[in-house]
Each structure stands twice: as C-alpha cells, then as structure tokens.
Amino acid sequence: MRYLELAEALRARLAVGNHAAGGALPSEARLGREYAVSRVTVRRALELLRAEGLVTSRRGAGWFVALDPVRQPLGRVTTIEGALEAAGAVARRDVVEFRFEPATAAVAAGLGVDTGMEVLRVKRVVRADGEPFAVVTVWVPGDLGADLSRAAVERSPFYDLLPLRGVELGRATQTIDADAVDAADARLLDVPPGTPVLVCRRVTYSAGGRAVLTSEHRYPSGRTHLEIEFPSVAFEAKARGASDA
C-alpha cells in the first residue's frame, strides 16, 4: 500500500466519524501495523492529511483529528477571541512579546508614521480550549501605547483598550495572503516549520481617520474560515448582461 492509498483509507475512516474532532489518532507505529506499511508511509500519509486540514500534530503527543474550523465574518470587525467564544470554545491570550521599538518600513506604512518612530509591538498566542489557534502581532503608535502594561494587553483586546484612552474607532481595512510558518511561529503554534498559514493583515483607523493599530494574524491551515456575504449581485450581473453567471 502506497502512502496515497493509505491517505485515502484514513480519509474514509475520518469521514464516517470513527474518531471525534479533536480526538487522538492511533500512533504511527500502530497504524503501520494495522495497514501493514512502514512508518515512513504512515508519516507521509498523515502529512498529506495535515496539509488538507484534516488532522493536526503536536510535538511529543502524536496526531489528532482537526477541529471544525472557526468561522469569521469579513463584513464586520471582530476579535479572534470573540469568534472562538461564538464557536463555543474557551479563548485565552498569552502575550509572548511586549516591547517598544522603532517602526519598520512596513509597520510605518501601515500606521502612516515615519520609519523609525517608536511603536508598541505586542505578540501573542491565542488559544482555543488550551490549544494554540493563532499567532497575532499588533503594533500601535508609541503615544497610544505609552501607558499600557503587559498585563492590560493580555487581559483585554486593543479594541477595548483604545476607546478607554479616548480613541473612537472607525473603519478598518484587511488583506489576506497565504504563507508558510517560520520556525519561531511554528514553535508557538505547535506545528512543523513550513506548515501553510493564512495571513490576515489589518489596519484600524480612528473615527477621525488616523491609523491607530495595525495587526497581523497567522492561522495554520484548516483552523479558520473567513466568510463574506454579498447581499446582491443583481447590479453587476445586469451590467455584464449576466453572461458570466
């Protein structure tokens, strides 16, 4: 049996619900004995299923059935923690980096400030039911972050903290890309380096138009779905004569 055949057999096994979402799979050695294949074949099959978002792995703990992805609407601004709680998960944020530093060119462009200006950089791991779900990095201008503490940003999202400092939040823009996780974030997410990740970059503005926050969210493949609803396509369809429908 080749690894592609084993992957198909395991897909079928997952499809009929033999293993609950989030539950542990048999060890690689046990699967090898069960299907009479080498451990290398088992590993390649499981890695293929991981790339498809069907299973996950945790260093030292083995392989697990992937949880159903958390759905996040793109039509309104939400926090990851809010989306997790709406999905019935217990959300927790662990701050791993908190420091003031000079703005890089990319951060400066997002915040509309000069390169080298002081910004507060906060990096955190968001957990769902105790398991790593996403890595989030946030930058705010130095004057807005001056009196913020590490404990405050670990306890509350910036969308709650900034209004307490007199910032009325307005619009936000977001871009979505794909990438491969580097070694540092792989350790935080408990996935192998090179795992595909969804990267969402967001800039949030005050009601007066100032960029007050830029952030980057990294989700391993299969952990979240970003959804958008189109209320009507009638106008565009009429404009094109509905030829592409």
Structural domains of the chain sorted by starting position, each given as residue range(s) with its CATH number in brackets = 3-65 (1.10.10.10), 70-227 (3.40.1410.10)
How sure is the predictor about 2, in pLDDT bands with cuts at 50, 70 and 90? confident
Orientation angle between helical segments 3-15 and 28-35, nearest 10 degrees = 100
Looking at mean pLDDT, say which of 24-28, 37-41, 46-50 comes out highest: 37-41
pLDDT at 131 over 90: no
The more confidently predicted of residues 2 and 121 is 121
Bridge pairing between strands 118-128 and 131-141: antiparallel
pLDDT at 9 over 70: yes
User: Quick one: average pLDDT of 210-228?
Assistant: 81
pLDDT at 209 over 90: yes
The more confidently predicted of residues 78 and 20 is 78
Least confident of 22-31, 113-122, 199-208, 231-240: 231-240
Give the global pTM: 0.68
Give the H/E segment covering residue 151: helix 150-155
Question: In the prediction, which pLDDT does 77 show?
Answer: 63
Q: What is the mean pLDDT of the chain?
A: 82
- Contact, 214 vs 107, CB < 8 A? yes
- Contact, 200 vs 226, CB < 8 A? yes
Query: For 81-130, what is each residue's pLDDT tens digit?
Result: 777 776 677 888 899 999 999 999 999 999 999 999 999 999 999 888 77
Question: In the prediction, which pLDDT does 50 show?
Answer: 77
Residue type, 19: H
- Contact, 203 vs 213, CB < 8 A? yes
User: Quick one: average pLDDT of 182-195?
Assistant: 88
Query: For 47-88, what is each residue's pLDDT tens digit?
Result: 888 777 777 777 667 887 766 555 555 556 677 777 777 667
Question: In the prediction, which pLDDT does 17 show?
Answer: 65
CA 236 from chain centre, in angstroms, equals: 32
